[in-house]
Chains A and B, each alone.
Chain A
Amino acid sequence: MLRLELRKEPSRAMRYATPVLAVLLTILAGGIMFALMGKDPVEALHVFFISPLSDLFSITELMVKASPLILIAVGLSFGFRAGVWNIGAEGQFTVGALTGGVVALIFYNVPGIWLLPMMTIAGVLGGMAWAAIPAFLRTRYNANEILVSLMLTYVAILLLSVLVHGPLRDPEGLNFPESRMFHDSATLPILIAGTRANIGFVVAILVAITAWIVMARHVIGFQVRVMGEAPLAARFSGFLESRIVWLCLMISGGLAGMAGLFEAAGSVGQLVPMLPVGYGFTAIIVAFLGRLNPIGIVAAGLVMAVTYIGGEAAQIELGLPSAVTGVFQGMLLFFLLGIDVLVHYQIKSRRPSAVAAKS
């Protein structure tokens, strides 16, 4: 019989090996799932995982999908390390798109190089403001930030919908619930001509690198790590829990807001009710898959983007439903969380005890 035995200290090798193992197990389980659905597993997996990497256009699409995931997940990783569970990034993403987008709509006929930075600041502040609600309610009234941030996501999505149906609707449009298109100086510069890959990806990478430095080398990152591993030691060290809660929610809210604005000012180019497509939730998986390490998150964001592009390809080429992507993502997180046990524990076969053997 097998049993788990606590390691004396966490295994570093396993820390790197488990995400890779989780991806492999997910692919294996995915193949079985495709076979059960009556598809050729090899072909389906090829469409799902290889085709998104096979040409330049697909790779630029990967960058488009990965940018918001990386931005949001890097922000979430601070909170998740500290035990501050902001799961309302989707709402902060939506509000960020809204506040930043409003700036673009106010100046819809005033081009200028200052416009995009101003929109970005507005987007970040919008995301922060939305995240400030759970931060305030937790630090002041002890209210659970998981539930509050999640409830506010539903509110944010409804809010966006109300506004694009009403005050923000394109006055020159055909009564569709959508805003004016942003003009050129209010949209993100394209990186590679003829594709949708924009500067948002570069910003996401720079943010990840900055976050990595802060996490590894700065007191801010240190207090976040101590808080998550040993809250009492954080107090002993002189860190205030309420400040860490605020810090984490401001970082994650701000980055989610930025991601939202980039989505509106990037591949979409206007405000529409369907702008939030679940990046805020998928980023939770990305954060864990990347081991809550900003550099790991860049890799994880790209892997996750593959499942999106692959899912779209599978929909078109094999007629597989788009929900397959969600199942894949859920399975990936399950496998990751499950085999994570190997970081802290090792598997030992239980030696039958002498007493048991005799009786």
Chain B
Amino acid sequence: MDLTILILQGIIVAATPLLFAAIGELVVEKSGVLNLGVEGMMIVGAIAGFAMTIESGSHLLGLVAAATAGAATAAIFAVLTQFLMSNQVATGLALTIFGLGVSALWGQGYSGQSTAPLARLHIPVISDLPIVGPLLFSHDILVYLSVALVVGVAWFLNRTRAGLILRAVGESHSSAHAIGYPVVKVRFLALLFGGACAGLGGAYLSLVQTPLWVEDMTAGRGWIALAIVVFATWKPGRAFAGAYLFGGVTVLQLHAQGFGVGIDAQYLSMLPYVTTVVVLVIISRDKARVSLNAPACLGKPFYASS
């Protein structure tokens, strides 16, 4: 029983950074922009959060720094793609390469150091309940924040006027422009939000999961987050499911290694990546469904001739 709870707790810890990055990217893609630089924004968030926490001793400041750094990285992408009309795919790749480089440079002095992990909440009585307590009521604040984000984003997209405008911009930027909505401004804000989320996702790795700074510690999680958005067919609730599915695969693979399943550990390490491919194929094969759900302007550049 204890082991089951341990595994489930592990899944939550593995899924949370993916969820942050995926929900941010989901909003970005809903506005019609494809930012492939999630990996770069996450890793910059990871080092910014770690460095600030070490320097200030405050986890809160660390998290603020991570979100800010993620958003600042996204701002580079936003300026290039929204004002200078650069190719979104190429710019996203550049963002990842740049992010990995900057974080490695910044992290020089921090490798080998460690910090106390982000504290877990302890609510008297509730947290001490058997099973339910450790499973639901004794996590760090970011876990709850990530779940709140999913609910908040779903509410924002489907129930608010601003969310409607964001979806409209992603659906047809020329129509949105014709009616008078500020396409570039909406996309810029969405990108900053996506960057901040990715930054928090990265900080979760360096402040909770390990908590250490290791170069390239995101190890492809930004790309998996992108796959989760496709898996979710751009629906927040399904992004939640996707993040926990991938979290589950990661944790099971670790435990399988621990149990000494007769398979080489490195084969098991391939599992999350292979799962991503398999899931992508399953979701994408229904072309009609993907094209019905995908924002129609995803990845297309917008230039207002007037």
Direct contact of A and B (CB under 8 A): yes
Q: Which positions in A face B, CB cutoff 8 Å?
A: 4, 6, 80, 85, 87, 133, 137, 141-144, 146-148, 150-152, 154-155, 158-159, 161-162, 165-166, 281-282, 284-285, 288, 321-331, 333-334, 337-341, 344-345
* Chain A residues, CB < 8 A from B86: 337-338, 340-341
Give the contacting residue for B220; candidates A151, A326, A337, A344; CB below 8 A: A151
Interface presence of B55 (CB below 8 A): no
* Chain B residues, CB < 8 A from A159: 266, 270
Closest A residue, CB atoms, query B88 = A337
Interface presence of B148 (CB below 8 A): no
Tell me if B102 and A327 are in contact (CB < 8 A): yes
Tell me if B305 and A6 are in contact (CB < 8 A): yes
* Chain A residues, CB < 8 A from B280: 137, 143-144, 147-148
Closest B residue, CB atoms, query A285 = B97
* Chain B residues, CB < 8 A from A146: 36, 89
- Bound-state CA distance A341–B80 (Å) is 9
Q: How near does chain A come to B45, taking the closest CB pair, in angstroms?
A: 16
Tell me if A330 and B102 are in contact (CB < 8 A): yes
Closest B residue, CB atoms, query A140 = B285
- Bound-state CA distance A82–B92 (Å) is 18
Question: Which residues 239-264 of B have a CB within 8 angstroms of A?
Answer: 264
A sample of 14 cross-chain residue pairs with beta-carbon separation below 8 angstroms, ordered by A number, consists of: A80-B90, A141-B284, A146-B36, A147-B277, A150-B220, A151-B276, A154-B220, A162-B264, A285-B97, A323-B108, A334-B91, A337-B91, A339-B84, A344-B85
* Chain B residues, CB < 8 A from A322: 104
Tell me if B101 and A325 are in contact (CB < 8 A): yes
- Bound-state CA distance A216–B264 (Å) is 48
Tell me if B105 and A85 are in contact (CB < 8 A): no
Closest A residue, CB atoms, query B215 = A323
Given contact pairs A85-B89, A147-B280, A158-B269, enumerate 16 new A-B contacts (beta carbons under 8 Å): A80-B90, A87-B93, A151-B227, A151-B273, A154-B220, A158-B266, A158-B270, A282-B97, A321-B108, A323-B104, A323-B108, A326-B98, A326-B101, A330-B101, A337-B84, A345-B85
- Bound-state CA distance A284–B276 (Å) is 23
- Bound-state CA distance A281–B98 (Å) is 11
Tell me if B104 and A321 are in contact (CB < 8 A): yes
* Chain A residues, CB < 8 A from B223: 147, 150-151
- What total of chain B residues lie within 8 Å of the partner, measured CB to CB? 48
* Chain B residues, CB < 8 A from A143: 277, 280-281, 284-285
Q: How near does chain A come to B172, taking the closest CB pair, in angstroms?
A: 18
* Chain B residues, CB < 8 A from A155: 270, 273-274
Q: How near does chain A come to B177, taking the closest CB pair, in angstroms?
A: 15
Given contacts A155-B273, A161-B266, contact A334 B108 (CB under 8 A): no
Tell me if B290 and A142 are in contact (CB < 8 A): yes
Give the contacting residue for B94; candidates A141, A144, A330; CB below 8 A: A330
- Bound-state CA distance A141–B76 (Å) is 34
* Chain A residues, CB < 8 A from B226: 147
Give the contacting residue for A334; candidates B36, B76, B227, B270; CB below 8 A: B76
Tell me if A334 and B305 are in contact (CB < 8 A): no
* Chain A residues, CB < 8 A from B277: 133, 137, 143, 147-148, 151-152
Q: How many A-B residue pairs have CB under 8 A?
A: 143
Tell me if B105 and A321 are in contact (CB < 8 A): yes
Tell me if B104 and A147 are in contact (CB < 8 A): no
- Bound-state CA distance A87–B269 (Å) is 21
Closest A residue, CB atoms, query B303 = A6
- Bound-state CA distance A331–B91 (Å) is 11
Interface presence of B87 (CB below 8 A): yes
- Bound-state CA distance A324–B269 (Å) is 30
- Bound-state CA distance A14–B274 (Å) is 43
Q: How near does chain B come to A94, taking the closest CB pair, in angstroms?
A: 13
Tell me if A152 and B266 are in contact (CB < 8 A): no
Given contacts A154-B273, A333-B98, contact A327 B105 (CB under 8 A): yes
Given contacts A144-B230, A155-B273, A323-B105, contact A285 B94 (CB under 8 A): yes
Q: How near does chain A come to B292, taking the closest CB pair, in angstroms?
A: 13
Question: Which residues 93-114 of B have a CB within 8 angstroms of A?
Answer: 93-95, 97-102, 104-105, 108
* Chain A residues, CB < 8 A from B161: none
* Chain A residues, CB < 8 A from B266: 158-159, 161-162, 165
In order of increasing CB-CB distance, the 6 nearest A-B pairs are: A326-B101, A330-B98, A323-B104, A333-B94, A337-B86, A327-B101
Q: How near does chain B come to A72, taking the closest CB pair, in angstroms?
A: 14
Tell me if A329 and B101 are in contact (CB < 8 A): yes
- Bound-state CA distance A162–B267 (Å) is 7
Q: How near does chain A come to B282, taking the closest CB pair, in angstroms?
A: 8
* Chain A residues, CB < 8 A from B84: 337-341
- Bound-state CA distance A345–B305 (Å) is 12
- Bound-state CA distance A165–B290 (Å) is 41
- Bound-state CA distance A252–B194 (Å) is 32
Interface presence of B159 (CB below 8 A): no
- Bound-state CA distance A337–B281 (Å) is 31
* Chain B residues, CB < 8 A from A333: 90, 93-94, 97-98
Tell me if B101 and A166 are in contact (CB < 8 A): no
* Chain A residues, CB < 8 A from B80: 334, 337-338
- Bound-state CA distance A284–B36 (Å) is 14
- Bound-state CA distance A240–B76 (Å) is 36
* Chain A residues, CB < 8 A from B219: 154
Tell me if A142 and B93 are in contact (CB < 8 A): no
Closest B residue, CB atoms, query A323 = B104
Tell me if A323 and B101 are in contact (CB < 8 A): yes
Q: How near does chain A come to B111, taking the closest CB pair, in angstroms?
A: 10
- Bound-state CA distance A340–B108 (Å) is 33
Tell me if B284 and A166 are in contact (CB < 8 A): no
- Bound-state CA distance A345–B83 (Å) is 11
Question: Which residues 204-242 of B have a CB within 8 angstroms of A?
Answer: 215, 219-220, 223-224, 226-227, 230
* Chain A residues, CB < 8 A from B97: 281-282, 284-285, 326, 329-330, 333
* Chain A residues, CB < 8 A from B305: 6
Closest B residue, CB atoms, query A150 = B223
* Chain B residues, CB < 8 A from A328: 101
